[in-house]
Structure 1
Amino acid sequence: MSGLPDHLDIHLIRILYLLLSEKNVSRVALKLNQPQPSISASLRKLRELTGDPLLVRGTRGMVPTQYGESLLQPAKRILDETERLFARKTAFSPQHEARTFHIAAPDYLDSQFLPNIVASVRRESPKSRIVLHGKGPDNDYLKLLADGELDIVIANWDDPPAHLHMSKLFEDEIACIMRADCPYALRTAPDAMTVEDYLSLPHVAPSQMLPGYSGVIESFLARQDMHRNVVVESAYFGMIPYMLTRSDLVLTTGRQFMRFYERNLPLKIFNVPIRFPTMRFYQLWHDRVHHAPEHKWLRELITATAKALVQNTW
């Protein structure tokens, strides 16, 4: 970059900021515990570098030039960023500090889990913000984590990327649920569903969450050379239980998610006659935030929320 010196001393930027703030060479010398001629020499050097007087005489002492005044905030930003750059990490004080946390999670989690995380953050770090992101096929979560646009992804992928950090949150048994008074539910006991029944019933399934990834249920069935009768795909998982109340559709997902809706809607849970693997939910994060105190705090909070949820449910 033309005109920029090869070695720009951060101390010179500090002198620039103080001169523009104090408008007095003697006071800057006292603040920095340096002789006045040294500060005067630095001012001359700054004038040479910028091609501007920076400070000129006014009616009541020195005043910044218009250009000098425009350098005040940029100089402060540089000093602040430099201080942060080399500051030693200190423990995060959630009650007093403010952070913004970005979490991506599917909406087929237990209906209490994300609200409980939000409640815990509000209680323990009231000055912080939390931004919940949905999951969809157009989102590149690996890139978003690496770029710092996401802090944590909560997921139940079969094979999470090996380069990400991971901690297990909870497991959920797979079951299915349908309208309690639909013809099949009225004539069949919750533990009497056959494999043929299960595969032939009209299913509603969530839309693909990741490019090329068909989900835990479909992936497992494909490995067993089985295919279920999916007649509806929905990107709005939270709406599916309400679809069930008005149709003959069947939803397969975690039993913990279903319990809330079975209690509050005219729905009935059935045991699945296929030995699906347990759904394992975990949080993933990138190495870039692995050692950050505030992110350690957030991950511990999420882990504790998941543990409390399991203890209260099972």
Structure 2
Amino acid sequence: MSIPRHFDLNLLRVFETLMRERHVTRAAEKLHVSQPALSHALKRLRESLDDPLLVRTESGMQPTPRALALLPVVQQALAMLQEGLAPPASFSPASSTRRFTLATTDYFEEVMYPGFLSQLLTYAPGISFSIELITPEVLSEGLESRQIDMVVGLDSQEELPGGVLQAPWMHEELVCLAATHNQGVGEALGIQQFSRMMHVELADISGLRPSNIDSCLTQHGLTRRVISKNLNYIAAARVVALTDAIMTLPRQMAERFIAMLPVRLVEPPEELPALNMTLIQHALHANEPSIAWLNQQLIDFARAFNGRA
């Protein structure tokens, strides 16, 4: 039994209500339409299905055999539509055993992640996380395929693959780190001296664009010599501790190294931009309840973190 071509699916609800009420006026009231409007809808149903559907008898309006055969089919179709169009089930952190996969920066993993995870486990004890590196493949394929749920802490990017959503998250002041034995740098650096120094920096594993520092120097007609590109901050800081090079990094990360290594803070050139970190996800999955929940938790944590930093 197939639906005729060009059948108006809006008439399915009319049909189901008419079969249930078996009275045009009562059906109109149930559907919150006028009696003439419902009579017109019944006429269209009869024409589309080539059957009277409801026939007036001495005991009231009675359905035809065709109508009775159609009724369970229509009811099942309406139930499936209602289920399919219903909002997705809300995420329940207290009972969830969801494992989230984050691609993150060294800064987030070292400075923020331990406290973030500890806080979440107090009211979402069954969740867990996997931490991955941010790579070009993560941004172009990993987010779309759900191998990665979110990218956390990447500096704001002007260009991202199609479908990828980027939102501001938090910012951090940049400082320079120098060895305590390094007599070539004082307590602060001007941009000219900064450009003449040897530098250690983190490799841009995202592969998206030159660093903000190099872009800033280019705007001032300057360049710098990078003697080492490292994959993590601790390795880079150890290079700084043993050489006359400097590195530029978020203040809260730098402060951790002062207690660990023979290094000190140096104020950077005022021209250098702040670190503007973002949350990145894919539009295909942004409304999925667990992802929306995680996104809000990260926003709330960053707000509280900035407040106490």
Smaller-chain TM-score bracket: 0.5 to 0.7
SS for the counterpart of 2:214 is helix
**Is the 8 Å Cα contact of residues 107 and 238 (structure 1) preserved in structure 2?**
no
2:139 counterpart of 1:141: yes
Q: What is the aligned partner in structure 2 of residue 244 from structure 1?
A: 240
**Is the 8 Å Cα contact of residues 178 and 245 (structure 2) preserved in structure 1?**
yes
**Is the 8 Å Cα contact of residues 156 and 168 (structure 2) preserved in structure 1?**
no
Kindly provide the CA deviation profile for residues 73-101 of structure 1, in whole angstroms up to 9, marking residues without a partner as x. Answer: xxxxxxxxxxx978751221111121111
Measure the CA separation in 1 of the matches of 2:157 and 2:221.
18
Q: How has the CA–CA distance of structure 1 residues 110 and 280 changed in structure 2, closer, same or farther, with 3 Å as cutoff?
A: farther
Q: What is the aligned partner in structure 1 of residue 149 from structure 2?
A: 151
Q: What is the CA-CA distance between 1:212 and the residue it aligns to?
A: 5.0
Q: Flag as ranges the 4+ runs of structure 1 deviating above 4 A.
A: 84-88
Kindly provide the CA deviation profile for residues 250-288 of structure 1, in whole angstroms up to 9, marking residues without a partner as x. Answer: 001222321222344332111122512221111011112
Alignment of 1:187-226 (within 5 A): 188=186, 190-191=187-188, 193-211=189-207, 213-226=209-222
Q: What is the aligned partner in structure 2 of residue 71 from structure 1?
A: none
Identity rate, percent: 16
Alignment of 1:294-309 (within 5 A): 294-309=290-305
Q: How has the CA–CA distance of structure 1 residues 86 and 99 changed in structure 2, closer, same or farther, with 3 Å as cutoff?
A: farther
Measure the CA separation in 1 of the matches of 2:114 and 2:137.
23
Measure the CA separation in 2 of the matches of 1:105 and 1:228.
27
**Is the 8 Å Cα contact of residues 166 and 285 (structure 1) preserved in structure 2?**
yes
**Is the 8 Å Cα contact of residues 182 and 244 (structure 2) preserved in structure 1?**
yes
Q: What is the CA-CA distance between 1:131 and the residue it aligns to?
A: 0.9
Q: How has the CA–CA distance of structure 1 residues 197 and 112 changed in structure 2, closer, same or farther, with 3 Å as cutoff?
A: same
2:266 to 245, 267, 270: 270
**Is the 8 Å Cα contact of residues 110 and 257 (structure 1) preserved in structure 2?**
no
**Is the 8 Å Cα contact of residues 100 and 129 (structure 1) preserved in structure 2?**
yes
Q: How has the CA–CA distance of structure 1 residues 260 and 210 changed in structure 2, closer, same or farther, with 3 Å as cutoff?
A: same
SS for the counterpart of 2:171 is strand
The one-letter code matched in structure 2 to 1:101 is F
2:97 counterpart of 1:101: no
**Is the 8 Å Cα contact of residues 200 and 229 (structure 1) preserved in structure 2?**
yes
Kindly provide the CA deviation profile for residues 121-150 of structure 1, in whole angstroms up to 9, marking residues without a partner as x. Answer: 3333221221111124x5341321111111
SS for the counterpart of 2:143 is helix
SS for the counterpart of 1:182 is coil
Unaligned 5+ segments in structure 2 are: 1-82
The one-letter code matched in structure 2 to 1:289 is H
Kindly provide the CA deviation profile for residues 205-241 of structure 1, in whole angstroms up to 9, marking residues without a partner as x. Answer: 1112233522221222223321012111112333212
2:112 counterpart of 1:116: no
Measure the CA separation in 1 of the matches of 2:115 and 2:285.
23
Number of equivalent positions: 228
Q: What is the CA-CA distance between 1:156 and the residue it aligns to?
A: 0.7
SS for the counterpart of 1:133 is strand
Kindly provide the CA deviation profile for residues 289-310 of structure 1, in whole angstroms up to 9, marking residues without a partner as x. Answer: 2211111111111112212221
2:258 counterpart of 1:259: no
Q: What is the aligned partner in structure 2 of residue 19 from structure 1?
A: none
Q: What is the CA-CA distance between 1:175 and the residue it aligns to?
A: 2.0
Unaligned 5+ segments in structure 1 are: 1-83
The one-letter code matched in structure 1 to 2:181 is D
Larger Rg: 2
**Is the 8 Å Cα contact of residues 151 and 281 (structure 2) preserved in structure 1?**
yes
- The two structures, once aligned, show a CA RMSD in angstroms of 2.7
Q: What is the CA-CA distance between 1:246 and the residue it aligns to?
A: 2.1
**What TM-score do you get using the length of structure 2 for normalisation?**
0.66
Residue range with higher mean Cα deviation, 193-202 or 155-164: 155-164
**What TM-score do you get using the length of structure 1 for normalisation?**
0.65
Q: What is the aligned partner in structure 2 of residue 182 from structure 1?
A: 182
Q: How has the CA–CA distance of structure 1 residues 282 and 218 changed in structure 2, closer, same or farther, with 3 Å as cutoff?
A: same
